[in-house]
Structure 1
C-alpha cells in the first residue's frame, strides 16, 4: 500500500509552497487508496510553537486534506507508529545513534562554528566545494574524553564512505547519481543533543513505513545523505520524488514580494479552498481535465509521471480564475456560508434571489457586500452619500436630465420590469445599445459594470428605482 506524508516544521504559518507539497502527497495517496500521514518535525525547540501546529492542522482541514495517520492532537497520536511529533521521539533516535556508534560509523566532532566557517571560506577561495575536512574523524578515545572533561559539547558526524557512488531512481527526475567524496562527513546530532534533519527525517520515514516522499527539489542533495544513513541502519528507504519549486515572475523562489500569503491569510481574504486546490494541483503538474474538480476528482487525475522538473511560475491571475470558477459552481449552502456577512444587509425573503443574481460578478465576499449595499441601502438614494463611481457620474451627465425624466415615466408604464422599461424608453428617447443601457445602470447602481440589470431591478423595487432615476435627473439638470 502506498503511504505518503507531510512533515512540516511548526516554525511559522504554512504558505502556498508548503501546501502544494502536502496536496501532491495527499493526491498521490488518495489516487492509490493509500495513506496520507501527518508528522510534525519540531526538533527546533527554539523556533517551534504549538500555535503553528494547531494552525497548520486547521489549514489542512479547511482545504479538505484529511490525513489518515498521525493525529497528534491526542497526545500519543493516532496510528501504530506514534508519537508523530519528533520532539517526543528522542528515545527512538538515541537507539539508532547507539547502533551507529557501536558500528563505528559516527564520531564526535568538537569543531566550533567559527572554525567550520573559516574552513569553508578557505575551501571556496581555493575553488573547492565546501565540506567537512574530517578534523575530528580520527580522535582517540583519550582525546575525546579530555575534550568532554573540558565541558566541550560535540556534534555527532556520520562517516561518509570514500570512493562510492550513491544513486537512486527519483520518481520525478529519473536516475540520480552522487559521488560520496563530494559530500563530506555530515552532522546527524547537534551539540544540544537534538537530531539533525537528515537523520530524524530519514529514520521516521523508514520506521513509519512511508513508501513515497514528494518534496521540493531543494531537498535533492539531502537524499544521498539520508540513503547512507538508512543503509547503515538496515532500514528501508522510501521512493523519493523531487518536485519543481514555485517561483515568482522574476524566477526567484516564491515570497511575499511576489504576493505569496499564508493559507490562514488567504482564508481570511475570502479565497475558497476548492479554488486553491485546483490551482495548486496544476502548478507543476500537467495534463488532466481543465475544469473545476473536487479533491476526489483531482486525485483521480493525479499522475506522478506528469510532475514537472522545471520551476513552476506563480500566477495570481490563474488563481483568480479558479476562484471565479469556484464561486460559479459552488452549491447554495457553500455560497451562503461564504457570504454570511451579507445576511444583515439583505432581506431574508430576497436573499436567494440576490445570491443568484450576483454570483457571476463576484470574486470575494467583499464584492457581495458592495452589491448588497448598492441594492439595499436605500437611504443612500435620498442623500448626498450615494457612492457613484466616476465613470457612472460621467454617463449620467452625458445622458442628461430629460433622459432620466423619461426613464421615470417609462418605469411606471413598465411596472418595474427591465425589458419593458428599456423597450418603452427606446421608443420615447430614440436611444439604443450602450447609450440606452449604460446611463440606466449608472443611475440605478452607481456602477457601469455588474450583474444583469434584469435581475437587479426586481431586487431594487420600483419605488427605489424611481427615486434613483429622479436623482440622476436632478444631478444632470
Structure 2
C-alpha cells in the first residue's frame, strides 16, 4: 500500500481533487486594492464589545476599499458550542449597524456565493485537501489516546523539553501504510496530523498590519488538522476557507499571535496565498487606579448586548469605537458633525498598538451628542422600541399618548444647540417621568422634601398660591416671567442672585428661588427642563392640578 492508496483507504467517499474544489470557488472580481475581510466568531458564548471593535475595523477596511466583508461561523469546536450564540452574534451586528455582505442571516437564509458559511457544513471540502496531504506524505493518522499523549508530556516535562507532538515524540509520524492499516483494523479512533516541515532552529518573519515587523520561532509541531469526529480543527479549516472565500486581510485579537507560525505554515504547505494579518491589543478598562482587560466572567459591560440592554443607540457605540480605532476620528467628526461615519477612512498605521482604554464616561458624552441630533419623533421611536424589549411600563406610558410624549422630547431640541441630557434610552424614565401623572403622583409627596432646608414650606405654598392666581396660559414668556418676578418682589425676594449675595440676611432668597419653588411644585424636582416650555407642554389642566396638590 502506498500513500495514495492509504489516502483513499481513509477517505473512500472523497473523489474530488483540490483543483476541483478551487475551480468551484473562483476568484472574486474586485478592483485592485479591494480588501476581503471577515468576522469569524465561534458560537461558544456571547459576543464581546472587543469583538464588535475588531469587527468594525474589518467592515470598514473592506467597504472603504470597495471590497467585501462577510460573516463565517467557525463552529468546529462542537463540544463547547452554546445554543443561541449565532443569534446573539447576528443581533449584536444588527444593533451596531454592521452589515456583512455575505453569510448567515437572521432569517436563516445565507447570502453570498462562497458558502456554506458554517464550517461544520463544509467538512467534505476540508476532507479533499486533507486526503491530498496524506497522498503527498504531508499528513498522517495518529492513534494516540489521551493517556499516551499525557505520558509523552510527562516525559518531556521531566526532561525539561518543550511539550507537544513533534520530532521523536511524534510516535506515529513514520508509520508505514501497512502499519497504519494494522492500527485501523483494531478499530482504534484516530486523528489526522500535519507532518510539519518546521524546525525549532529556524525563525519566521512577517509584517503585521498593526504591530509591524515580527519574528517568531518556526512551527515544528505536528498539529491535529482533523479530529476523530471528522471535523477539522480551526487552524486547518480557516486556512482552507480563507483561500476559497478570497480573504485578503484578517483582523483579530493578539491572543492569536502565537498561532501565526502554524497558520503561515499551513498556507504554504497547501499552496495558498497567505492573507495579511493584523493583531489588535485587547480593549482595556479602568479598575480603580489601574488598567486591565475586560473579563467575560466578571464584567457585565464586556458583553456587546449589555450596551443594547442599557439603551445606548448602536450608532453611539459605533461612533465611540471609531474614536478608539483611530484617534484622529474625533477631530474629523468635529469638523464634519453631520457626515456619515463611513466617510472617514480608517488607517491601520494609526491604530493603538498597546490596547485602547474603553472609557464609559466618554461613551456617555458621545451618546448624548448622537441623541441630541435626533428629532423628537426619532427619540420617541427609539425609546419605544427599546422599552418594548426592556421596560413594558415605559412602553405603555409612551404609547398611551404619543403626541404628548413627542412634545416632551421636543423641548429644547429645535434650537441651534439642542440639549444633551439623554445618553441612553434607559435614562428617559428618570429624566422625564415627572411629565406623566402616574409617575409624578407616586413621587408627589417628595415635592416638599425637594425644597432647600432654609425655605419654609408655608412661604413656598404662598408663592404657589400667588402664582396660581396670576397664571394665564395666554401669556408669552416675558409676560409670564414678569409675573413671577412680581410675586418675588411682593414677598420680599431679591431681584437677582447678585443682589441677594450682597445682603443675604435681608431676603428669604432671590427670584431664581421663586422659580425653583414653582419647579418643585410642578415636578417634585429642583432641576428640570425650561420651566415655561415645560408648562406649555404639560397643559393648563395638569399644571393647575399640580399647583393645587402642592398647596394641599
Interval containing the TM-score (normalised by the shorter chain): 0.7 to 0.9
CA contact (8 A) 2:40 2:72 kept: yes
Please report the TM-score for the alignment, with normalisation by the length of structure 1: 0.88
Call closer, same or farther: CA 1:317–1:202 in 2, change over 3 Å.
same
Displacement, 1:234? 0.8
Q: For 1:176, what is the secondary structure of its paired residue?
A: strand
Displacement, 1:15? 2.1
1:362 lines up with 2:362 in the alignment:
no
Displacement, 1:337? 1.1
Q: Which residue is 2:501 aligned to?
A: none
Q: CA RMSD in A?
A: 3.0
Displacement, 1:275? 0.8
Which residues of 2 match residues 104-183 of structure 1 at below 5 A?
A: 104-120=137-153, 123=156, 128-132=161-165, 133-161=169-197, 162=199, 163-180=201-218, 183=220
User: Aligned residue pairs: how many?
Assistant: 470
Q: Which residue is 1:406 aligned to?
A: 463
Q: Deviations over 1:136-180 (max 9, x none)?
A: 322333433333222221222212222433222111111222222
Could you tell me which runs of 5 or more consecutive residues in structure 2 were left unpaired when the two chains were aligned. 1-33, 388-393, 413-418, 494-508
Q: Which residue is 1:442 aligned to?
A: 520
Which residues of 2 match residues 51-450 of structure 1 at below 5 A?
A: 51-71=84-104, 77-120=110-153, 123=156, 128-132=161-165, 133-161=169-197, 162=199, 163-180=201-218, 183-249=220-286, 250-290=291-331, 291=333, 296-298=340-342, 300-340=344-384, 344-345=396-397, 347-357=401-411, 360-377=420-437, 385-387=442-444, 392-395=449-452, 398-416=455-473, 419-429=481-491, 430=493, 431-432=509-510, 435-450=513-528
Equivalents in 2 of 1:332, 1:402: separation in Å?
A: 38
Displacement, 1:75? 7.3
Equivalents in 1 of 2:161, 2:518: separation in Å?
A: 74
Q: For 2:397, what is the secondary structure of its paired residue?
A: coil
Equivalents in 1 of 2:245, 2:129: separation in Å?
A: 15
Equivalents in 1 of 2:116, 2:109: separation in Å?
A: 5
Call closer, same or farther: CA 1:426–1:44 in 2, change over 3 Å.
same
Equivalents in 2 of 1:434, 1:356: separation in Å?
A: 24
Call closer, same or farther: CA 1:107–1:357 in 2, change over 3 Å.
same
Equivalents in 2 of 1:49, 1:254: separation in Å?
A: 18
Equivalents in 2 of 1:294, 1:18: separation in Å?
A: 27
Equivalents in 1 of 2:537, 2:181: separation in Å?
A: 85
Q: Which residue is 2:28 aligned to?
A: none
Equivalents in 2 of 1:391, 1:200: separation in Å?
A: 68
Q: Deviations over 1:108-154 (max 9, x none)?
A: 22233344345445545665443324233223334333332222212
Displacement, 1:469? 3.7
Q: Deviations over 1:239-259 (max 9, x none)?
A: 110011123324134435233
Equivalents in 2 of 1:151, 1:294: separation in Å?
A: 67
Q: For 1:386, what is the secondary structure of its paired residue?
A: helix
Equivalents in 1 of 2:463, 2:213: separation in Å?
A: 77
CA contact (8 A) 2:447 2:521 kept: no
CA contact (8 A) 1:442 1:448 kept: yes
**If you compute each CA radius of gyration, which structure gives the higher value, 1 or 2?**
2
Q: For 1:282, what is the secondary structure of its paired residue?
A: helix
Q: Deviations over 1:303-355 (max 9, x none)?
A: 11111111223322222222222221224443121122557536444333211
Equivalents in 2 of 1:438, 1:92: separation in Å?
A: 73
Equivalents in 1 of 2:245, 2:339: separation in Å?
A: 25
Equivalents in 1 of 2:520, 2:404: separation in Å?
A: 22
Q: Pick from 13, 17, 24: which aligns with 2:57? A: 24
